[in-house]
Every structure is written in C-alpha cells, then in structure tokens.
Structure 1
C-alpha cells in the first residue's frame, strides 16, 4: 500500500508511473474543482470574436478594447478561455465615454 504523504514529498522525476497515477487520482478527489461556469440568466459572449460581434467591430478592435482595461470587470478569463458578461461590458463602455 502506498502512503499518499510520502508520495507528495517525492520529486516528480523520481516517481514511477504507478505512483504518479496514484497521486493524481487521490489529489483529484482532495482538491475542489474550480470551473469557469457563468451565472445563469445573463447573456455572455465568448472569446475575442464574441467581443467583436458585441461591439459590431473587427477582432483587432475587440482586442484593443480588451487590452485597454475598460471592460476588465466584465471579463472572466482562465488561460485562453474568455467569457464576457455582455450587458456589463456595454455599461462599462458607455461609462468610459
């Protein structure tokens, strides 16, 4: 029987395949899953193309808008995945004018 605590202490490059799979299976059960789930009832757009459709502009204009920080409060981003609250983004753009 493998001891989870001793395996956690072991460097990854020294683990056998069996130890690594054991650790992975046990840690998946321990850690809370952090998912990107938008709230129900709101309208969302996804990605740079979604922002472009929302503002009825090009993807380069949407990229500039995102990088400007104006709509940061409306954006949920994890890695390359972008979710934008459409109503909040439009409100923030109107306030910035």
Structure 2
C-alpha cells in the first residue's frame, strides 16, 4: 500500500496550539528549506565595497591609512580601479589578508 502524504493546508492565522505535531513538523521543514535556499542565494552573490571609505570601514582604519594600504599594491588582485572609481571584492580581499602577513 502506498500512502500519499497529504500536505495540510495551514492558514497563516492558525494559532500554534491548533496544529497537530505532524502539521507543525511539516511547517518547520518548509520554513527551514526556504531559509536555507535564501542563505545559499545570498552566499553566491559577490559583495563589493566602493571607494577608500568602504576599504577603511572594512579595515577599521582611517581613509588615509586605507589609501596607503591600497597604494602598496599588496591587495591589487582584489581592488579594481577605473579612473576615480574604486571597487573592492570583499571576499577576495579577506582571502588575501589571511594569506599575507601585513604589518
């Protein structure tokens, strides 16, 4: 005998104490799946910082110190500049910081 799972149609206004244990578990599974899929989608998106202000915020230093760090060229793989526009790939920058001993 094959038993088909009947998904309960739960109204969002239904109080929790009116749900059976099975309905509650089914609801938590679906919520968990949706939260995990959203977090995976957010992880796949690149995070960029813009300008020396963004770099200084990431490093927790002044803008002049961020400018000096950028000019040293240690993190050129993570920093892209077109004219006055500066874009920093946050994940790549952090990865390079872990690899290199910066003083």
Q: How many residues align?
A: 58
For structure 1, the residue ranges without an aligned partner over 5 or more in a row are 1-39
Which stretch of structure 1 is more off in the superposition, 42-51 or 87-96? 87-96
State the structure with more CA Rg: 2
Aligned to 1:75: 79
Task: Quote the residue 2:57 is aligned against.
Answer: 53
Q: Which runs of 4+ in 1 moved over 3 A?
A: none
Q: 1:55, 1:86 → 2: CA distance?
A: 11
Q: 2:69 aligns with which of 61, 65, 70?
A: 65
Give the gaps of 5 or more residues in structure 2: 1-43
Normalized against structure 1, the TM-score is what?
0.56
TM norm structure 2: 0.53
